Structure 1
Amino acid sequence: MRKILIIGGGYAGFYAAWKLEKKLRRGQVDVTVVDPRPYMTYQPFLPEVVAGSIEARHAAVSLRRHLHRTRVVAGMVTAIDHEHRVVTVRPADGDAFELGYDLVVVTAGAVTRKFPVPGVAEQAIGLKHVEEAVAIRDRLLTSFDRAATLPPGSQRQKLLTVTVVGGGFSGVEGFAELLSLATSLLRRYPELDRGELRFHLVEASARILPEVTGPPGRWVVRFLRRRGGQVHLNTRIESATGGRVVLSTGEQFDSELIVWTTGNAANPVVGKHTDLPVDERGFLVVRPDLRVGTDREPVPDAWAAGDAAGIEDLTAPVPGTRTVPNAQHAVRQGKLLARNIAATLRGGRPKEYRHRSLGAVAVLGIGHGIFQYRRLVLKGPLAWLIHRGYHVLAIPTWERKVRVLAIWLTAGLFGRDIVSLASVQQPRTAFVTGGEPPESSLPDWRKP
């Protein structure tokens, strides 16, 4: 059997393995997926996880549950030595080890792009993984509980101030869902006033949502401002030390929650620790048929797809344009990877990747959204329904579709779940303290 090694269990990696199982007979190939997480994250649902509209586990698809004939290795690939057909894997426990292969599929994805802004590494939370979405939600809910016990003032204002950096889809949807959640929470917190909420969306360019055209993007800015959000365009964040946000415009404010969504950067394993060809940005050089290399210099037994791969968009009007790093492309590239690999193993020829965009859709809170397909633009509840309809069909496996639909129906009847489980990040605290209050909180007559 030929050994196929898939690096990364995200969209492209999961779909490549899933479809290879369907297209190749048992015993024909030995497929292994290596990923530090045992699941595929369905990232379009993360803003709804932030808002409590979807249960966190339902935005993740278990690799072991759905990949029945694929070996799943929990670990991070730290180096790819294609010349010797081996990768180095670092597991969570134990020593690093090597895995050999005959054919490699690189679907490692990208990482969140960061800038050397003081305080960001210590204060900000990304929005690329389920754990981050849960932490953001719990941080907001806990801030409301803490603020409700404080008198008006700077400390209370900091707890009720949220900053989202980045005006792409993740940033705008996360910002809108957080704002919608916070607004709805005020009904449960009579101690707080809507005028105390401060929500800031910071974008370095002159517009948000670059995947949509100018007028719809400007409409989203107006919509967010009407809802009480403050949108800062042509603005950079200069510092976030201690939660004190300093903008390039000179404005300053304290923010308890800072969410960082400034786009994707090259995966360092792909960009720095492989002998496969990479471009000037650190992305793999990939042919339209998803094989690594160029037409003149193909790399045998190496394939790639997803955010780590620089793949030309053959449907774009401008030659040399690369596919946008989003779920639409990653899912379809993963499926085509499986078909092309199966075809070449049978002596056939791989097909080139071509996919015209199905449009852009963003959710802006319950009952609100925007959808654009070419010149067609839809706003409000209809766009929101299109978003939900498309993504419940797109998330893999019927098991996940049913679970997501059930949660949506439940939320429609009873509203969002507003329970914060921030304490799960320190699960031993209650056990260690035994419920004993800290000495500093005791009145003088109770202190020893």
Structure 2
Amino acid sequence: MADLFSTDDTDAPDDRAPRPLADRLRPRALSEVIGQRQVLGPDAPLGTMLSSGALSSIVFWGPPGVGKTTIARLLAKETDLHFVQISAIFTGVSELRKVFEAAKLRRRNGQGTLLFVDEIHRFNKAQQDSFLPHMEDGTILLVGATTENPSFELNAALLSRAQVMVLTRLSPEELDQLAARAERELDKTLPLTEAARRALLEMADGDGRTLLNLIEQIAAWKVDTPLDPEQLGKRLMRRAAKYDKSGDEHYNLISALHKSVRGSDPDAALYWFNRMLEGGEDPRYLARRLLRMAIEDIQLADPQAQSVALHAWQSYERLGSPEGELALAQAVVYLALAPKSNAVYTAFKAAREAARKTGSEPPPKHILNAPTKMMSEQGYGAGYAYDHDAEDAFSGQNYFPDSLPRTQFYKPVERGFERDLGKRVAYFDKLRDDRRKSGKT
């Protein structure tokens, strides 16, 4: 049975065999890596670790094609650790045991092991836990790679023993550097106009591996004159970008869509929504922005809006294009016609500022629990009124720090469901005032 994991020994390429451009251009030192200065720079986390000689376990979080595997390999090279790579998709418990046993043997012989785990988030809790003792005793230095949010997908115990480093999509300038490096390797200039070259970088969408694969295709073409964006799109059997998804037009169009929804104009919102789809925008990006609109601009004026946006996103993920785009269009119309409010956002900012200024103030003692005798003697819990036992199930007690005057952060608007919430706020304010006047609080 073939090994499900690979090491530097087994991965050495045969120079006689053809190698993909992406493999031929793999950097030989960290200084050759394009991008990721926020991690690799001299004062960045990884740069600091290497300069101090204290490399710890790491989880790289970022999209595909941004250098996670390459950086892991180079870390092993620069720290003289044996590099072992496995994929969580293909590796089971028995294979993990073999990896750990081999690492133990290596350690007894004086060599450490850098274990690179691709798609580490796909391991279940028990499998993730199996790494812990070997990380703690130094048998392995773990470098994980994930495209998913580690705080959601990885165990707290594993995260506490590793530093999460965020890798980002390559910028157009960085992709252009990579393209220039590819042209030097191929010893030829890509047969593209300047506009087509920009369109090519847009097609890569921040993914260096995708860019090199596209360049390898283009380099094999026999063309007499440089291709324009339309010709490039036809030859690649994929639409060339009609607008720069990271430039001014992208931000102008998403701003137009957002403000059309905020301005309760479903027709204009649908227009800008479709302009972005026609421009080649990823519908998932639009789905995320629609959810953001529901949270930022509608809030509790229509509590259903967030659910509508979220369900539309989920429907798109299940249906794909083009059917799923209709679900997003429905969300566009619903959000545009929903009552608008930013009252919670305003309250959140005001409360956050108050918390920042008074961050050391303790809660009033009457709302603190008193699980020990000493705490009871200190007055913890003394005088607490259980609201369910009070008239109207409302005690009206103070829940702010004693030194902080009661402040109204949340001020509902007179629109949609928040009109009802405003009545509730006024109702409790009146009860609170009545309790205060009667001396019951």
Q: TM-score range by the shorter chain?
A: under 0.3
TM-score, normalising length from structure 2?
0.23
Bigger strand share = 1
Bigger helix share = 2
TM-score, normalising length from structure 1?
0.23
Bigger Rg over Cα: 2
